[in-house]
Amino acid sequence: MINVTKTFFPPIEDYQNQLQRIWNNQWLTNNGELYKELSKKLQDYLGVNQIIPMTNGTLPIQIALNAYAKEGEVITTPFSYVATTASIVWEKCTPVFVDIHPEYLTIDESKIEASITEKTTAILATHVYGNPCDVEVIEAIAEKHNLKVIYDAAHCFGLIYKGQSIFNYGDVSTCSFHATKLFHTGEGGALFCQDEETRQELWYRHNFGHDGPEHYHGLGMNAKMSELQAAMGLSVLPYMEHILKERQRVCEYYDEHLDFTKLSKLKLREGTQWNYAYYPVAFKTENELLKTKAKLEAKKINPRRYFYPSLEALPYINSSDCTIAMDTAKRVFCLPVYDSLNIEDLNKIVSTINV
């Protein structure tokens, strides 16, 4: 079976060595030694200003919305994973969908301002497949209307935009460290912000609101990353150069061998140093996608319709008129990308699509 992705497992000895440290410390959670070490190593590796690793990639979005959206209207994209919109609704805010750019597939920045009302409190935009939004235009709009900017950057580990980490844009960025991501902690994620004051405010919120053991800063929840998760992260991080190099190899094979008269690939925004997290392809019609998907699955190759359906179709959402997102969601799927995908399997995938 060739799945759309495959979890990277570090050598078991590496993980066992980290686990031994946990047993020696007799400390499983609550800002332990491994957690602190992983935080520092990720901050240095990524070149980010402030980081709070958490137990998954959804809670950072919810915490940011809880801090800044104030139960108002949040401008967002329907072309994202369900966690983006679900977090808005969960925090008692109202998602306001803006259609996507037909080539970059990120939120269409030229359509944001028309959706701003007196109830708008924030913009929550997704860097789709590791392709950055137009962060400069979004920042200018946010400043003009006094809005907070939160980026769902779940796909963006290691991504560089215009010379710096994509996580250094916006008031808050979030990332997923799920097992399917190119860097992972099994389950996990992180919140990124730009200054220590903001970090402290968000830190309290991810730790029950604690300000020391006997005082509370305010309302909070439990989003803490455990030492077991940090141990996996410390075991995976040394292999990132290998993981990225091999995923680049896979994506370049697709670039060279796919028949792009039948489909199109993602257009990256200028200034992007991509991380090869996903390889989406768009077909001319949904029928062509479904036929190709069936051919691949007959050979035990599993692409993924990611993202499908457009989030306008969620049962707890009022419908909106985002025709590009709706159409794109019907015609796009992601091809298998992972570090151990060999040349025989790649040839099998490409030849099946090209026929």
Whole-number pLDDT of residue 218: 86
Q: What gap in Å lies between CA 59 and CA 152, rounded to an integer?
A: 11
User: What are 231-277's pLDDT values in tens digits?
Assistant: 999 999 999 999 999 999 999 999 999 999 999 999 999 999 999 99
Mean per-residue pLDDT over the chain, rounded:
97
Predicted confidence band of residue 159 (pLDDT cuts 50, 70, 90)? very high
Fill in the DSSP letter of residue 239.
G
Whole-number pLDDT of residue 209: 87
CA distances from 275 to 9, 176, 229, 259, 271 (A): 19, 14, 23, 23, 13
Q: What gap in Å lies between CA 186 and CA 179, rounded to an integer?
A: 5
Q: Which residues contact 320 (CB under 8 A, 6 or more apart)?
A: 78, 96, 97, 312
Q: Is the pLDDT of residue 16 over 80?
A: yes
Tell me what percent of the residues of the chain surpass a pLDDT of 70: 100
Whole-number pLDDT of residue 318: 84
Neighbours of 240 (CB within 10 A): 16
Whole-number pLDDT of residue 196: 96
Average pLDDT over residues 214-218: 82
Which contiguous run of DSSP H or E holds residue 148?
Answer: strand 148-152
Amino acid of residue 195: D
Could you tell me the domains of the chain? Answer: 12-238 (3.40.640.10), 240-354 (3.90.1150.10)
User: What are 174-200's pLDDT values in tens digits?
Assistant: 999 999 999 999 999 999 999 999 999
Token code pair at residue 114: 């028309």
Whole-number pLDDT of residue 114: 97
